[in-house]
Amino acid sequence: MQQQRGRIALNRKTSKPAGHNGPTKAFTVRTEGELLPFLREMLSHQGRNAVKSILARGQVSVDGRVETAYNLPLRPGQKVEVNLKKTAPPPRLFGLSIVYEDDDVIVVHKEAGLLSISAGQDGELTAYRQLMEHVRAQHPKNRIFIVHRLDRDTSGLMLFAKSESVQQTLQNNWRDMVKERVYVALVEGQVKQKEGVIESWLKENRAMKMYSSPRPGDGQHAVTRYKVLHADRNFSLLEVRLETGRKNQIRVHMQDLGHPIVGDKKYGARSRAIGRLGLHARVLAFAHPVSGETMRFQTPVPSLFYKVFKSAE
């Protein structure tokens, strides 16, 4: 997992470490450094693993904010408090990992098979539900808000907001704030044209299936650019860039191209060569809704996507 920023940002919300009524030690930072080495020096009587566990359990606060990042930069004058009472570990995430988090947004990597948000069934395991538990473990009043979705069988990067105002800022200015959205798609057959643009107007039928209308202007305008990364006579691996973000846009446009995504029976695929949908959200870049800073995150292409080419050799 790669990202431009090398650390988790400081959490600006004030919150106490869980179980903060227990025995607490306070230290003042004298020189610049990172949080874990500082704790190891201050808690020299504790072993390395014990100190890492204290940090991971949310028992450390810096200037009143709970911190868990080992490499959090420290500045002279900051106050570090350590609650020595053991607390319950943070909620475990399934099919989901946090790539970046600050006061305003969370960027995650979602695995194929996990719903972004509930489809209406109580108790469903979703990215949204797990992240809600994650932020509420930091403070019971914390919440998250969904900004966009990935289909259940699509893996890759997703962005969530930590307040309704941030959610609205992102959604209302999506086309301006999102600088880059790159997917990789494993499709059936050999795509002859090395790169191209697919443009259509998307609509949804009564069966809730998206399709390209034959009439220009009839539906939501959708533009998808693609480039062939690797291909043989059976499959092609494409880099896909979205200029618009419509529901099932890539899936419909790959069907329109005559090369449906592997595993996508709904949109004409016959092959289940990798046992999942061959679509992965690889790159996400956006203007931070508060700071305005450009944030860019990138994940590797799933190794499964190359499996079909190796097996064909």
Q: Which CATH superfamily is domain 11-83 in?
A: RNA-binding S4 domain (3.10.290.10)
pLDDT tens per residue, range 9-24: 333 333 343 434 458 8
**pLDDT at residue 68, rounded to an integer:** 82
Ranked by mean pLDDT, the top range of 15-19, 29-33, 91-95, 187-191 is 187-191
Percent of the chain with pLDDT over 70: 89
- Return the CATH fold of 91-172: Pseudouridine synthase (3.30.2350)
**pLDDT at residue 21, rounded to an integer:** 46
- Spatial separation of the C-alpha atoms in residues 111 and 114, rounded to whole Å: 6
Round the average pLDDT of the chain to a whole number and report it. 88
pLDDT tens per residue, range 62-112: 998 888 888 889 999 999 999 887 666 667 889 999 999 988 999 999 999
**pLDDT at residue 3, rounded to an integer:** 45
Lowest mean pLDDT among 27-41, 45-59, 253-267: 45-59
Kindly report, as residue ranges, where domains of CATH 3.30.2350.10 are found in the chain: 91-172, 177-313
pLDDT tens per residue, range 264-279: 999 999 999 999 999 9
Catalytic residues: 151
- Return the CATH fold of 177-313: Pseudouridine synthase (3.30.2350)
- Spatial separation of the C-alpha atoms in residues 115 and 173, rounded to whole Å: 25
Angle, alpha carbons 153-284-287 (nearest 5°): 140
Lowest mean pLDDT among 102-116, 123-137, 251-265: 123-137
Kindly report, as residue ranges, where domains of CATH 3.10.290.10 are found in the chain: 11-83
Whether the per-residue pLDDT at 157 is higher than 60: the answer is: yes
